[in-house]
Structure 1
Amino acid sequence: MQLPLGRLFWRVFFLHWLAMVAAFACAGFYLYATGHTPPPPGEMPWVLLIPVLSGAAVALPVAFAIAWYLSKPLRHLSLALRDAAGARFEVRVSPALGSRRDEFAELAREFDDMAARLQQAAMQQRQLFHDVSHELRSPLARIQAAIGLMQQDPESAAAMGERIAREAERLDQFIEELLTLHKLEAGAVNPARERLDIIELLADIVQDAAFEAQARGCAVKLDAPDTFVAEVAGETLYRAFENVVRNAIKYTAPHTTVEVRARTFKSSQGAGDGAGWLEISVGDRGPGVPVESCEEIFEPFRRLESYQRDAAMRSVPGTGLGLAIARRALALHGGDIRATPRQGGGLLVIARLPSMAAPGKPASR
């Protein structure tokens, strides 16, 4: 695309051109005045036109080059901004500027980084819409199938009614988790905080999860200190830890134990600040996750079924939102969460929570 010459180009061009013409004229007048006798009053020697015309001729390409050099990156940035405004985030400015190493090149790199982040966000949004439609279509298809079977065989109405109720409950849970994730990502969740004992919170979660674990032939064990008090949003944090523990129960092998451990330590961000941290690890004995994919499981709808060879593991129900909600909830409290393959098989999820921290300030790893 041909770039039009803008107002900045012509302003810079004329200013530089006039400045150089004036410089040549002054230099010529000075040389003439110092090397000749003064001309008669009212007369101007024609020889003074020589430096003026020479300056105009020499300054023309120089002023053009300077104006072009200064205005070219701005024209590229202007066109790139128009592309970005039209949702064409693949546009980049740095290649058009070549080997420049000035402030314009730095500005172009900043723009390219912004465009890359916007492009990634747009791709994630499209993927999110695709995943949401897929997650909604599956239970709706099962509901439609149950209704069809119930119409064909009225005697199966009771069984099909239970199936419809179960699928409707899954839909309701999915929509609730999706709304929670949206609020956390948009920063709309700013609940009132209160001082709570996180160990008691974990004990309640483990006690409730034990029933689900028992139904799958496994167990949940809690190993934690006596107390750890922190200023938190109780409901949001409860859901985060519950998602992690229930996720471990879903994938752990039968007749194994999901181990929930907690330990406290002091902050390393400054001596004498008195800030305490709680590290909570949840380990299972499931199929595990490859180390290169441990970050992916915290993205919405990432369940990594391709790594689960066991058909029973692939059929585990879920929306793929639990760990994504957990990460954003921990970040809301200034903490963080990560995953790593567990020695001996399985997955180990480690969350860290400060007793007091600025909201949104992540813990250093």
Structure 2
Amino acid sequence: MNKNRSKVLENAGRVVIKVGSAVLTSEDGLDMRVVTRLADQISLLHDRGVDVILVSSGAVAAGRKLLSSCKAKSDLVFKQATSAIGQSRLMHAYDEVFGRYKKITAQILLTRDDLNSRERFINARNTMLQLLSWRAIPIINENDTVAVQELKFGDNDALAALILNLVEADLFINLTSADGVFMDNPLENPDAEKLSCIEDIKGLPIENMCRGKSSSGSGGMYSKLLAARKAAQIGVPTLILAGRDRFCLEKAFDGQDIGTWIMPCDKVISSRKFWFAYNLEPEGTISIDKGAARAVFEKGKSLLPAGIVDIQGDFGKGALVKIVEQGEIRISAVGLTNYKASDLQLIKGKKSSEIKNLTGECLYPEAIHRDNLLLDAIGI
């Protein structure tokens, strides 16, 4: 583990750093001492030749402080309006502190809609790469002002995981309010074991460690570990550090064993599979029988119409759908379907040789080809 960690930190050419509101803000709004220290450390890393992309929360908290006379609300419209006020203050703070180190910053605001279109995904990637070639530091946040509920990433941990794939990063650093990952809540259990390294993030009992929070939950260590699992799938290690600790980034890159190091998976998935699994929104669900489940989940085979027992949703050809074993609750796969929902209703349970008689043609023997399947879909 130590050799792997040292090698990655020494050779990382492109790093995505995510910092949350719990690190950047206090009761008085933005904590400029923390912002200044963060800019100082990132600038030092940048001077070493490392490309740095910063995913930063804090806009809502910064705006809320300026609206102290208004009663805080939890609804989306209040947060959107508060973010509109706070985002400019947040970027002004970053511009000011990074300017002291002669660094150029660039603001990028994204919604899920910007990344689920392949064309817009490529446009965002090209813009990001151009900024990095100019040695600018992109600062990314979700565009809370215009995002509607169904287009929200959920949290900036999830957004940061998508950015890893967008820019082909070598390392993901998540700055948090905790000293790392613990097997239990250290505030409730002072004897909770801190994990210096997680070799198999896939096998970690995240739900139990995080009090069984459902996959629809967001924020806290749960979302950070989900983001780390996604990063591991594309071969990117994660380092979770206490962001309010002085010089935490410098200490880590100088070889000190701080925080929690999360190793990537031995077998990684393609950038394309990562994109369709986590940037697109599932439009329906396909239930399959036990035989098909064994073929798909255990043997990595394509899903054939014969194994389908039920279809939910009205989706078109090429849509992303969830795949579940009949009678099972856990969703562990998503894929791009070769047929629209109405055609699947006709051919479900049928052999490939029978499809032509039912639909007039059989362009695809598979309902979903294995090249268009991700078996270990996280947080779907």
> Normalising to structure 1: TM-score of the pair?
0.19
More strand by share: 2
More helix by share: 1
Structure having the higher Rg = 1
> Normalising to structure 2: TM-score of the pair?
0.19
